Structure 1
């Protein structure tokens, strides 16, 4: 019944990625207005703050400890909260249904399949240690920011000139990368062609955080043993190499709830998205609507409550953007 799930997911991923490219173009126009004479003014799209996760993590700690919602990059904090909420409620679905980096990583893996015939699956003795890297990187950020960094230092950083135009710095990083950056990006792209989800599986600290949070999710992929015919289609089609056919409920932090397993199952009742007590069963369309609905609802709430637009006046952007190359960590 749901054999079109992965095609629907890919369509959603592509549509959202195109939207983000449009947002990026508008932000480029906004920055250019302050750098190049004669440019037409375009308002700054707050959504670009979603690409500042470190700043958002700092703002999240500040919000939890003081109740102060960051006014410099409020959209970044709102998006961060939306991502955390989605991952807690609906597994690590953000990674496979929303995240643009996840979309790019998956697209490179599929392209690699077309070019080379298949992707390489690393042996367990190498795969497991490499998977630990993203958790080590996450641990580093959590220690430095959550445990060690005083609230006063966080507040000072959030209001510093560097952070105020961190999105501008990010834009310039991608528009004018150094030779070393280009080499690193090319290596990551090549590895993603050969090894499916290389970045997401081994290096992404954001995904590691969401994976750990998803363990507490009330919803899990559940295998109904009475209906399972043992064909192993679910395991063969799992992009994260989980042995779904051997599990009653998928508790792994590597499960991104892409629903490929459900999509490939020949028996409609054998695999389901169910609540912890199996009292609630979500059909794939309902799961998708709830996941995206939750994500968008948090953003809408942020807009309605005045926690979306930055408090930085245009006059300050006019002063800081031309000097952006002077600011560093």
Structure 2
């Protein structure tokens, strides 16, 4: 396959993953978590956020399941072998940024880069975000950062502006900043704010994978540096091992001089197509194996009679009928405890009850059930 073909292959794979995640997020909003997985359950970083809770209490934080841990393990394997290939070849939010960057280059007519005195300090911000998000999740035992997460806000776009404004206002602002920033500067969130990218960057330092430039064959056209989505000056490097590299292979695939830039696994050169094949094989092959063995679950167990033993288990996506069944209460008793009119359909999800009862929320339901015997 030609270098140009490899570039289109990577973009096509990223586009397919982005479409899949977008559709999954839409279905989750329309059908609820019992029928479609949430964005958190399909993100490897959620596995890292729940790691402390899993190790010390044997349970996952809300919205995280065994499948999320499978995704985390597979992404760690990929990182140890091929550095931040998850970011460059698999991440849907990275894909969204890169496609907006391509659009921005068409509209603006050029690629812009942040001045070094601003860019370099900002690159360290994502490591601070990594520390804060993990400590917060491990201390609270919740995905507390979700309302501030632009990726979560993106997944809730189909929920409508009202829910976005109420639950993901900061996340929505950061999503807009990310899109506009990537339109101008390319992979804006990846470079400056992404905690997962920071984690993979640190772990990727253990990988034998790297990009090498052959000075003797290099014609110094600077296409490698100009094409890099994270603005690494490849043309001035002999070996690219920085934690910023997302192993997207753009620098290799735009090089017009055969042998001037190559991907190395230790001392052995490895074709770009082989890297794509291995990364995809490990990730999606691992998912298939986990599914076949029953370890890959991204949906909550169905609500059964008396299955809700703690009101904290009640979720906004549950219907009133689910809550009644799970708590063992009759529908009449539940409606009376929650102050819900009889004409509200039992198929109404808790987060939608506010359409009938002003100011009602899932937390209202939990609080009222806590108070009443």
The TM-score normalised by the length of structure 2 is 0.70
Deviations 1:204-230 (A, max 9, x none): 111111111112112111223343333
Q: Distance in 2 between matches of 1:10 and 1:230?
A: 26
* Alignment partner, residue 255 of structure 1: 245
Which one of the candidate residues 108, 128, 137 is aligned to 2:100? 108
For 2:47, the equivalent position in structure 1 comes to 56
Q: Is the 8 A contact 1:50 1:80 kept in 2?
A: no
Counterparts of 1:189-228 in structure 2, within 5 Å, are 189-228=179-218
RMSD over aligned Cα atoms: 3.2
Structure 2 SS opposite 1:3 = helix
Count matched residues.
301
Which of residues 125, 128, 132 is equivalent to 1:133? Answer: 125
Q: How big is the shift at 1:247?
A: 2.1
Q: Any conservation in 1 of the 2:85–2:246 contact (CA below 8 Å)?
A: yes
Local SS of the residue matching 1:215: helix
Distance 2:251 2:239 in 1: 12
1:312 to 298, 301, 307: 301
**1:233-275: per-residue Cα shift (whole Å, max 9, x none)?**
2122222221212222211111111111111112222211112
Check 1:327–1:5 CA distance in 2 against 1; reply closer, same or farther (3 A cut): farther
Return the alpha-carbon distance in structure 2 between the equivalents of residues 135 and 247 of structure 1: 24
Preserved CA contact (<8 Å) 2:153 2:164: no
Which deviations, in whole Å up to 9, do the C-alpha atoms of 1:284-329 show, x marking residues without a partner? 111100011111132223223322224522446543593354249x
Any idea what the Cα deviations from partners look like across 1:185-213, whole Å, max 9, x if unmatched?
Answer: 33332222222111111111111111111
Tell me, yes or no, if structure 1 residue 83 matches structure 2 residue 75. Answer: yes
Q: Which residue of 1 aligns with 2:350?
A: 323
Change (3 A) 1:250 1:48: same
TM-score scaled by structure 1? 0.79
Which of 111, 120, 126 pairs up with 2:112?
A: 120
Distance change (3 Å), C-alpha of 1:285 and 1:215 = same
Given that 2:29 and 2:158 are in contact with CA atoms closer than 8 Å, whether structure 1 keeps it comes out as no
Q: Is the 8 A contact 2:42 2:71 kept in 1?
A: no
User: What is the aligned partner in structure 2 of residue 267 from structure 1?
Assistant: 257
Q: Residue 124 of structure 2: SS of its match in structure 1?
A: helix
Deviations 1:7-63 (A, max 9, x none): 11111111222222332333234329xxxxxxxxxx624474445566422433455
Which segment is superposed worse, 98-107 or 237-246? 237-246
Distance 1:169 1:230 in 2: 42
Higher RCO (C-alpha 8 Å, min separation 6):
1
Contact 2:26/2:158 (8 A) holds in 1: no
Secondary structure of 1:220's match? strand
- Comparing 17-26 with 211-220, greater Cα deviation is found at 17-26
- Structure 2: distance between partners of 1:48 and 1:284: 30
Q: Determine helix, strand or coil for the equivalent of 2:207.
A: coil
- Which residue in the other structure is 2:368 paired with? none
Shift in alpha-carbon separation, 1:68–1:248, aligned structure 2, 3 A: farther
Q: How far is 1:104 from its partner?
A: 0.8
Query: Residue 17 of structure 1 aligns with which residue?
Result: 18
SS across alignment from 1:234: helix
Structure 1, unaligned stretches of length 5 or more? 33-42, 163-167
